[in-house]
Chains A and B, each alone.
Chain A
Amino acid sequence: QKEVEQDPGPLSVPEGAIVSLNCTYSNSAFQYFMWYRQYSRKGPELLMYTYSSGNKEDGRFTAQVDKSSKYISLFIRDSQPSDSATYLCAMKVEGQNFVFGPGTRLSVLP
Chain B
Amino acid sequence: DGGITQSPKYLFRKEGQNVTLSCEQNLNHDAMYWYRQDPGQGLRLIYYSQIVNDFQKGDIAEGYSVSREKKESFPLTVTSAQKNPTAFYLCASSIVGSGANVLTFGAGSRLTVL
Chain A residues packing against B (C-beta within 8 Å): 2, 4, 6, 8, 32, 34, 36, 41-46, 49, 51, 88, 90, 92, 94-95, 97-103
Contact = CB atoms under 8 A, between A and B. Distances in A.
A94 B42 CA distance: 20
Q: Is the interface of B mostly helix, strand, loop or mixed?
A: loop
A49 B58 CA distance: 23
B98 A4 contact: no
Interface residues of B, number: 24
Given A44-B105, A88-B42, A100-B43, A94 B110 contact: no
A98 B110 CA distance: 22
Nearest to B10: A41
A46 B103 contact: yes
A51 B45 CA distance: 22
B88 to A, nearest CB: 8
Lowest 4 A-B CB distances belong to which pairs? A43-B105, A100-B42, A100-B43, A32-B100
